[in-house]
Structure 1
Amino acid sequence: MSLDAATVKHIARLARIGIQDTEVARLQGELNGIIGWIEQLAAVDVEGVPPMVGTEQAALRMRDDVVTDGARPEAVLSNAPGRNGLFYTVPKVVE
């Protein structure tokens, strides 16, 4: 398959890409090269090759939900800009 200049201009318009008339020939060559690669891939025999894992077959790797800093309140509160005992203090925003 080979693209003509009118098809290249139409593709550029659909993609909302502004091209000059001087660029059409270069883009036509590039797009024809891409289509050539796709045609080569279509010729590959994949009979008997199992598909790779797709999103519908993949499972998320889960980990246990474990609290890791609950036994160190001083270490956690050391990052607070203000505190009152074992609690963060924040400026009042609603009167």
Structure 2
Amino acid sequence: MSVDFATVKRVARLARIAVSEEEANRMVGELNGILGFVEQLSEVDVEGVEPMTSVTPMEMKKRTDDVTDGNKAADIVSNAPVTDQNFFLVPKVVE
């Protein structure tokens, strides 16, 4: 994939960036160089390489995924004007 002058101008307009003709011509070469580097990365064999979170080996901190109600239902409804069995009671708004 390569980028041409029209694509640079279109992207600049979409990004609401003012780009002069000279800057756009320079960006064509720069963006094509970046895209060429990205294409080179696709040639690298990464079979068997584990995903990393950091350049230094470390174990990710994990917690158990326990579903609870938080045991705070009474605290949550304590400031409500009217409650019933830890539910908020509100006036009827639909006839």
**What's the counterpart of residue 14 of structure 2?**
14
**What's the counterpart of residue 34 of structure 1?**
34
Structure 2: any 5+ residue segments left out of the alignment?
63-95
Percent identity reads 57
Spell out structure 1 runs of 4+ moving beyond 4 A: none
Structure 1: any 5+ residue segments left out of the alignment?
61-95
**What's the counterpart of residue 43 of structure 2?**
43
TM superposition shift of 1:12: 1.2
Of 56, 61, 71, which aligns to 1:59?
A: 61
TM superposition shift of 1:45: 0.7
Letter in 2 for 1:43: E
What is the root-mean-square deviation of aligned Cα atoms in Å? 2.1
Letter in 1 for 2:16: R
Letter in 2 for 1:10: R
Q: Is 25-34 or 5-14 further displaced after alignment?
A: 5-14
Aligned residues: 58
TM superposition shift of 1:11: 1.4
Residues 76-87 of structure 1 aligned to structure 2 (within 5 Å): none
